[in-house]
Structure 1
């Protein structure tokens, strides 16, 4: 591995799925909300938002809501965008909304969808767009139409939502993807990183809340952006180099970030590596590979992860994820795994994302 003598390989061949939604295609964007102990994730292809309200009993507390044209809010202030090819809605990332008035329940979420950032109301099952990507001055309507939301996150101050866009499923994958910064209060969208293939996970350094880490999947790179300046990015992690034995395209996908609270500001990035069955742990100082968790071989398409305390929850995708007919013959892909004690210390519960302002 070229990682030194302290590298640790943890093989989890006998690990059973934590939960599996029948017919799941591409589970992604897994997120934890500590105030309500709620686990949320999406199925990109099916345009679904999933919610588990009792983590220890997912079978009895799971529900999901589909984002479609038919349940678009009739009283929305934004008319549903023109869709001449009748492209399907998809959900790439999720931004939970919580307030004390909700008591112990997540009642609404924001999410990145096909044409923009939307809001879903769990009580009514209706949703609406709050802003459309086509409103970005540097993104033509034709180009925006060919894109869809992938991963995203909320800035530490809650002011901005960052969403990465990539080519939508019916279109050829091209470097027309981008990273957008969205201010919902001001109703402004800015293109901050252009000409990407697959922009992915976004995080901030806890020590200064400005330094950003951005995943560039098909360049196999985790970029570090000191001070949040995306134009002065520097390569931190070469994921392909950390998987150079037998994987042709080990793409870094969704990830989880964790920082020590002991005052030394040590931080770690846990990266799901598409097509490898792996979650790899890197330090954020030198980008050094420290540890990898190898999941059962029948689910190579690991896609995202998040912490609930010291346990790591990992989403996966179906082997038929690229099949236009969506024939679901893979009975394992799309499930969620729970890796116990992925952090080797007791840690407090923390939410995956900040509360967005809107």
Structure 2
């Protein structure tokens, strides 16, 4: 646990949800687009993409879109992969795309799904795969069948999507997960980190645009990879060591990164810690725990976060996610919280992710 005068604990037990989609199960992947002031997130378990176009009025500007076989584009160049009805679609991460004619509107998004990278068109609700993970020579068909997309991000130059894959919900959790690097323009998929249990949040260092921070959830570790070499990783943060013994499995999940503009320090990493009701704030230079935000006990499964100016938006999951059925939803599981003023000073709005390089086409 943090100690000393520079550690602060912020109790938010009375914080009310910013927004709650009825019967949400596993909200994740929250993303902010500065140019359109749009907030996006997914429900992994239900295979949904959610969009809020007016952050101050989510109730009136929220829309959601399902990713199922039923709304798969019939004229897609990629036929929907063979798949039993029992193995449904899921959505793990999201990559916004601007409208072709302007940056004033988000008409489409790319997303990491069950079998590959999909593209959803908000204007008609249809989607299609634009590349399949099975195109990766290192992934056998049997292994790929058992995997699903988890978290992911876009390289600073927009050239690559990095997506973590992990065991899909119906299967036993095994170390068959991996991190893929996807080049959409070259139609190339390659494994860059193999044999993982739960690969999670991925970020790049602002100073050199190459060094990476990778979350390895069930090793409770945030790795720094200098120069972007994932094989030469250094432990930056031991999240289990930064939580007391009352938490059996304090897994680092999704996170948000912020870099200082004043040169006084390198920046911070805000980590959603699954099963603990916490978001923890670490110093990027030394991996030191500086602050933790304690959310209401009714939502222990804190799953992801993103910064919108000074505020931190936090997603959560249903407490009974492993057995979630229509009549078994808790009242706040899957809700989104808004924690105000987690940063000080003049903090400009910034998009969560760069725009991916992609030759967009209308569905």
Equivalent-residue separation in structure 1 for 2:265 and 2:287 (angstroms) = 15
Q: State the Cα distance separating 1:328 from its structure 2 match.
A: 2.9
Using a 3 Å threshold, how does the CA distance of structure 1 residues 2 and 35 change in structure 2: closer, same or farther?
Answer: closer
**Which residue of structure 2 aligns with residue 307 of structure 1?**
307
CA contact 2:223–2:233 (8 Å) conserved in 1: yes
Q: What is the number of equivalent residue pairs in this alignment?
A: 358
Q: State the Cα distance separating 1:203 from its structure 2 match.
A: 0.2
Q: State the Cα distance separating 1:264 from its structure 2 match.
A: 4.4
Equivalent-residue separation in structure 2 for 1:342 and 1:324 (angstroms) = 32
Q: State the Cα distance separating 1:98 from its structure 2 match.
A: 1.3
- What does the per-residue CA deviation read over 1:67-113, in whole Å, with 9 as the maximum and x for residues that have no partner? 00010011111000010354110000000011472453210000000
CA contact 1:49–1:64 (8 Å) conserved in 2: yes
**Which residue of structure 1 aligns with residue 279 of structure 2?**
279
CA contact 2:99–2:105 (8 Å) conserved in 1: no
**Which residue of structure 1 aligns with residue 219 of structure 2?**
219
Q: TM-score, normalised by structure 1?
A: 0.98
**Which residue of structure 1 aligns with residue 5 of structure 2?**
5
SS in 2 for 1:182: strand
Confirm whether residue 128 of structure 1 aligns to residue 124 of structure 2: no
**Which residue of structure 1 aligns with residue 200 of structure 2?**
200
Q: State the Cα distance separating 1:331 from its structure 2 match.
A: 1.0
**Which residue of structure 1 aligns with residue 22 of structure 2?**
22
**Which residue of structure 1 aligns with residue 110 of structure 2?**
110
Confirm whether residue 166 of structure 1 aligns to residue 155 of structure 2: no
- What does the per-residue CA deviation read over 1:121-175, in whole Å, with 9 as the maximum and x for residues that have no partner? 0001000001101110000011001000000000000000000000000000000
SS in 1 for 2:203: strand
Equivalent-residue separation in structure 1 for 2:264 and 2:270 (angstroms) = 19
Root-mean-square deviation (CA), in Å?
1.2
Using a 3 Å threshold, how does the CA distance of structure 1 residues 100 and 343 change in structure 2: closer, same or farther?
Answer: farther
**Which residue of structure 2 aligns with residue 33 of structure 1?**
33
**Which residue of structure 2 aligns with residue 296 of structure 1?**
296
CA contact 2:267–2:284 (8 Å) conserved in 1: yes
SS in 2 for 1:343: coil
Q: State the Cα distance separating 1:290 from its structure 2 match.
A: 0.3
**Which residue of structure 1 aligns with residue 247 of structure 2?**
247
Where does structure 1 differ by over 6 angstroms across 4 or more consecutive aligned residues? none
Using a 3 Å threshold, how does the CA distance of structure 1 residues 235 and 162 change in structure 2: closer, same or farther?
Answer: same
**Which residue of structure 1 aligns with residue 48 of structure 2?**
48
CA contact 1:320–1:327 (8 Å) conserved in 2: no
CA contact 2:91–2:111 (8 Å) conserved in 1: yes
Equivalent-residue separation in structure 1 for 2:10 and 2:105 (angstroms) = 35
CA contact 2:25–2:324 (8 Å) conserved in 1: no
Confirm whether residue 259 of structure 1 aligns to residue 246 of structure 2: no
**Which residue of structure 2 aligns with residue 344 of structure 1?**
344
Equivalent-residue separation in structure 1 for 2:345 and 2:8 (angstroms) = 16
SS in 1 for 2:321: coil
CA contact 1:318–1:328 (8 Å) conserved in 2: no
SS in 2 for 1:143: helix
Confirm whether residue 318 of structure 1 aligns to residue 315 of structure 2: no
Equivalent-residue separation in structure 1 for 2:89 and 2:253 (angstroms) = 21
SS in 1 for 2:18: strand
User: Which ranges in structure 2 are unaligned for 5 or more consecutive residues?
Assistant: 359-363
CA contact 1:320–1:326 (8 Å) conserved in 2: no
**Which residue of structure 1 aligns with residue 66 of structure 2?**
66
Confirm whether residue 82 of structure 1 aligns to residue 82 of structure 2: yes
Equivalent-residue separation in structure 2 for 1:48 and 1:243 (angstroms) = 32
Q: State the Cα distance separating 1:303 from its structure 2 match.
A: 0.3
CA contact 1:260–1:266 (8 Å) conserved in 2: yes
Equivalent-residue separation in structure 1 for 2:255 and 2:146 (angstroms) = 25
Equivalent-residue separation in structure 2 for 1:291 and 1:185 (angstroms) = 41
SS in 2 for 1:59: helix
CA contact 2:98–2:104 (8 Å) conserved in 1: no
Q: State the Cα distance separating 1:49 from its structure 2 match.
A: 0.2
**Which residue of structure 1 aligns with residue 361 of structure 2?**
none
- What does the per-residue CA deviation read over 1:226-263, in whole Å, with 9 as the maximum and x for residues that have no partner? 00000000110000000023100000000000001113
User: Which ranges in structure 1 are unaligned for 5 or more consecutive residues?
Assistant: none
